[in-house]
């Protein structure tokens, strides 16, 4: 098969083969660390604790953290925090760069500015990881909502200090491993680590699916084979649609005026500005989930009946939950797009280099036009992201399957996996084409193919 020969060609190029093997080695190291427990924790009590939280809170913010840590949080291993503190620090630095002129100036200094911002991001990662790990230690010492659970064998400052050092070191090690993949491996290191954690839950989902297909005491099964075929066809459609939206661009044509300097002619060529339909991607879902699940998380800790009643209205299964969830996703799609794409700066740079959009005056009209187009394009991407985010709940209620199985048919995990796989394939294909090998596709092309 052509696709198999393409993968075989990957190992015929020494440089690419070394990059792939190095990346796989780092992922193996990451998965080993996901099974090294934090000292002083009773594993069986911790598992029972998370089981009760899941059953009472109907979803909590810890579910997001557990997904991004590859299931390490519910075992409280050295990688329990996962890479979330680094992601949070990166997003915070992006926001601060957009609103603080000093940081914006540093960001525009080229490679030196990039290294400075990256260093600030590392400091932020350390601070966030230390704070989160300290509160996790306090949270495990006093599970007030579930009496009788002794999760920590020896509570006190010794356990807190050990937990802070262990979990913070684990996050910093993950950050370093991701950077090593970025420099010496293939693909985006941080994204690959997240994807490996998500895929690690796939065997459990398949096992659950097999149990649902198995005959029960009455001779039937909870999940019919025809229903499974419908779900598989649905999954294929979801993957195709995510691929199309992730790659979709609105191309704005740009013409550069010809300039004659001495005997040389500059400019005169045509190009375009690619405006992505889904600029925010999974970040909007992460922000929206964190906010919508926060009351449910607090309800598991606050023994207030009024607060429990309020939180019950914004839990999965209620129309208010999905309405607020969808509005939050749309808001954060626009918010993040406004942070990373500044039409005024783009218009000024075009005017400075003699570029213009045909039929649009340079300067203010160009920035207004770009803002108008980006607003309409982002709406389409935001509505699609809303549909993908709510899809696991729809599958869970329609096909009567657990959320673990439904999460692999839509939602944050599938969006991340498809995006990361596309990005990794682009990088591998660029190596193949450089060495005159066939890429992954005989006809058409992957976005980003040179």
38: nearest Cα among 148, 120, 133, 157: 133
Dihedral, CA of residue 279, residue 100, residue 169 and residue 34, to nearest 10: -10
Instruction: Kindly state the helix (H) or strand (E) to which residue 356 belongs, with its residue range.
Output: strand 355-356
Please tell me the CATH code under which domain 1-200 is placed: 1.10.3370.10
* Architecture of domain 221-410 in this structure: Orthogonal Bundle (1.10)
pTM here? Answer: 0.78
Concatenate the DSSP letters of all residues of 276-338 into one string: ES-SSTHHHHHHHHHHHTHHHHHHTT---HHHHHHHHTTSTTSHHHHHHHHHHHHHHHHHHHH
Residue 57 is predicted with a pLDDT of: 45
Angle between helices 364-399 and 225-247 (to 10 degrees): 170
Tokens at 251, concatenated? 């191309």
Tokens at 356, concatenated? 């213009």
CA pair distance 163, 185, nearest whole angstrom: 31
CA pair distance 403, 259, nearest whole angstrom: 61
Residue 123 is predicted with a pLDDT of: 92
CA pair distance 143, 149, nearest whole angstrom: 7
C-alpha pair distances (Å), 293 with each of 316, 377, 384: 9, 28, 21
Contact (Cβ atoms closer than 8 angstroms) between residue 82 and residue 72: yes
pLDDT along the chain (450 residues), means of 10: 65 83 91 86 76 56 67 81 84 82 83 86 91 84 62 84 92 91 86 86 83 70 80 86 87 78 65 86 78 66 62 71 86 86 86 82 88 91 88 80 77 82 83 67 50
Task: Tell me whether strands 355-356 and 249-256 are parallel, antiparallel or unpaired.
Answer: antiparallel
Q: How many helices (H) and strands (E) does the chain have?
A: 19, 5
Contact (Cβ atoms closer than 8 angstroms) between residue 307 and residue 250: no
Residues in a beta bridge with 266: 259
Q: How far is CA 382 from the centre of its chain?
A: 15
CA pair distance 384, 371, nearest whole angstrom: 20
Instruction: Kindly state the helix (H) or strand (E) to which residue 259 belongs, with its residue range.
Output: strand 259-261
Residue 450 is predicted with a pLDDT of: 39
Residue 449 is predicted with a pLDDT of: 43
CA pair distance 242, 422, nearest whole angstrom: 11
Tokens at 383, concatenated? 């509505």
CA pair distance 375, 240, nearest whole angstrom: 24
Tell me where in the chain the CATH 1.10.3370.10 domain(s) lie: 1-200, 221-410
CA pair distance 76, 132, nearest whole angstrom: 13
Residue 442 is predicted with a pLDDT of: 54
205: nearest Cα among 67, 51, 54, 386: 67
Spell out a b/e string for 407-437, using b for 16 or more CB atoms within 10 Å of the CB, else e. Answer: bbbbbbbbbbbbbbbbbbbbebbbbbeeeeb
Contact (Cβ atoms closer than 8 angstroms) between residue 425 and residue 440: yes
CA pair distance 266, 256, nearest whole angstrom: 9
């Amino acid at each position: 098969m052509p696709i198999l020969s393409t993968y075989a060609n990957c190992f015929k190029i020494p440089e690419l083969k070394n990059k792939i093997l190095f990346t796989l080695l780092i992922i193996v190291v990451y998965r080993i660390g996901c099974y090294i427990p934090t000292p002083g924790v009773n594993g069986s009590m911790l598992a029972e604790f998370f089981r009760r939280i899941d059953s009472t809170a109907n979803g909590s913010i810890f579910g997001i953290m557990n997904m991004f840590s590859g299931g390490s949080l519910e075992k409280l291993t050295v990688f329990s925090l996962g890479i979330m503190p680094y992601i949070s620090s990166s997003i915070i630095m992006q926001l601060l760069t957009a609103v603080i002129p000093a940081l914006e100036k540093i960001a525009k200094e080229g490679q030196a500015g990039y290294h400075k911002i990256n260093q600030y991001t590392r400091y932020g990662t350390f601070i966030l990881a230390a704070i989160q790990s300290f509160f996790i230690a306090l949270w495990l010492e006093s599970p007030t909502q579930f009496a009788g659970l002794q999760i920590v064998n020896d509570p006190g400052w010794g356990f807190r200090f050990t937990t802070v050092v262990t979990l913070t070191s684990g996050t910093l090690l993950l950050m370093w491993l991701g950077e090593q993949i970025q420099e010496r491996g293939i693909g985006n290191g941080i994204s690959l680590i997240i994807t490996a954690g998500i895929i690690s839950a796939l065997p459990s989902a398949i096992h659950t699916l097999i149990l649902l297909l198995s005959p029960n005491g009455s001779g039937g099964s909870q999940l019919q084979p025809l229903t499974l075929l419908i779900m598989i066809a649905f999954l294929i459609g979801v993957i195709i649609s995510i691929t199309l939206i992730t790659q979709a661009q609105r191309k704005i044509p740009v013409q550069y005026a010809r300039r004659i300097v001495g005997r040389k002619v500059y400019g005169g060529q045509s190009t375009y500005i690619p405006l992505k339909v889904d600029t925010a991607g999974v970040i909007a879902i992460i922000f929206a989930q964190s906010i919508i699940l926060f009351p449910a998380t607090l309800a598991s800790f606050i023994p207030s009946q009024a607060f429990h009643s309020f939180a019950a209205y914004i839990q999965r299964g209620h129309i208010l939950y999905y309405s607020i969830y969808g509005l939050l996703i749309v808001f954060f799609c626009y918010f993040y797009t406004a942070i990373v794409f500044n039409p005024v700066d783009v218009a000024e740079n075009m005017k400075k280099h003699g570029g213009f959009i045909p039929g649009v005056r340079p300067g203010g009209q160009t920035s207004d036009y770009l803002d108008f187009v980006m607003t309409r394009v982002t709406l389409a991407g935001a509505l699609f992201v809303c549909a993908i985010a709510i899809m696991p709940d729809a599958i869970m209620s329609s096909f009567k399957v657990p959320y673990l199985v439904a999460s692999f048919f839509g939602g944050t995990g599938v969006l991340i996996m498809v995006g990361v796989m596309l990005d990794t394939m682009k990088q591998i294909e660029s190596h193949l084409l450089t060495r005159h090998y066939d890429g992954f596709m005989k006809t058409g092309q992957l976005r980003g193919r040179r």
